[in-house]
Amino acid sequence: MPTETGTQAIDRAAELLARVVESHRPLGVGELAAGTGLPKSTTSRLVGALERRGLVQRAGDRRVAPGPVLLRFAHRDTSAGLVELAAPALRVLADLSGETINLGVPTPLGVEHLAQEDSRHFVGGTNWIGRRVPYESTANGKVLHAFSAERPADARAIRAQGYAVAVDELERGLAALAAPVFGPDGVAVAALSISGPTIRLTRDRIAELTPALVEQAQSLSARLGAQSLGVGSTEPSAGAGFAGAGAIRQHRGAA
């Protein structure tokens, strides 16, 4: 019967959507089919319908992750609160640096920018709000990867120094530095970044701005309930990411 067929299709699509949302990583169509017992062709068709409605989206490798509709809903309340709390830090950094300041949060497919203070310069000014950038070639992506719950081994150096830098990686002529913002569980929930053209954000200028960036990220973390631990801790416990700031202060004192 048509009604039964329609109900069955809804049930199957809902099951696929639930698996995508509950997974800690994007899933392949084959994985979804195997997990639900559905034919791969049916799974592909249902995923296509969910994708058209923005409920799921495809990563670069065609794996399936939660879509923009679900991500906007998930961040609706928390993002508004985070943006409000972060506003003073963004203004301080913008006044200090004169460059573009961003607040970015992790999503399954990259870093999404929630808030921005614009550069005072004409050259190098970009509106990043709503744009998603990859983890591997951006400063905010690197710190969010480094200070994620998994504490990946390939990011020990970033955890040790407490910040990340990306120069000529996302785009030639673009430089950025970023520091993680932590929640109460010690996992990075956001990143504060300073970005601009390499003609202004030179190596020396990046070194000058890094302590203030880390300080503002720490301050925002504290407002979110994160607790500071000692220098050198890289384990996923509350406030573990604060290690780098002490190292920066020590480095400045030795300079």
Co-location of 92 and 61 in the same domain? no
The predicted model gives 15-35 an average pLDDT of 89
- Regarding whether 41 and 167 lie in a shared domain, the answer is no
**175: helix, coil or strand?**
strand
Residues 168 and 127 in one domain: yes
Per DSSP bridges, beta strands 174-182 and 64-66 are unpaired
| Arithmetic mean of pLDDT over the chain | 82
Domain boundary among the residues 66, 89, 117 is at 66
131 and 58 inside one domain: no
Distances (CA, A) of 63 to 26, 28, 38, 75, 167: 5, 4, 17, 22, 29
Same structural domain for residues 36 and 138?
no
pLDDT-derived band of residue 251, with 50, 70 and 90 as boundaries? very low
Q: 46 with 90, same domain?
A: no
* Residues 56 and 120 occupy one common structural domain: no
Count of domains observed in the chain: 2
Whether 121 and 226 map to the same domain: the answer is yes
CA-based nearest residue to 109, from 130, 127, 128, 135: 135
pTM of the model: 0.65
Per-residue pLDDT at 96: 94
Instruction: Tell me the average pLDDT across 166-184.
Output: 93
79/199 same-domain check: yes
What integer is the mean pLDDT of 47-76?
78
pLDDT band at 99 (very low <50, low <70, confident <90, very high): very high
Domain coverage including residue 181: 75-254
Choice among 112-116, 121-125, 134-138 with the minimum mean pLDDT: 121-125
Tokens at residue 254, please? 């030795």
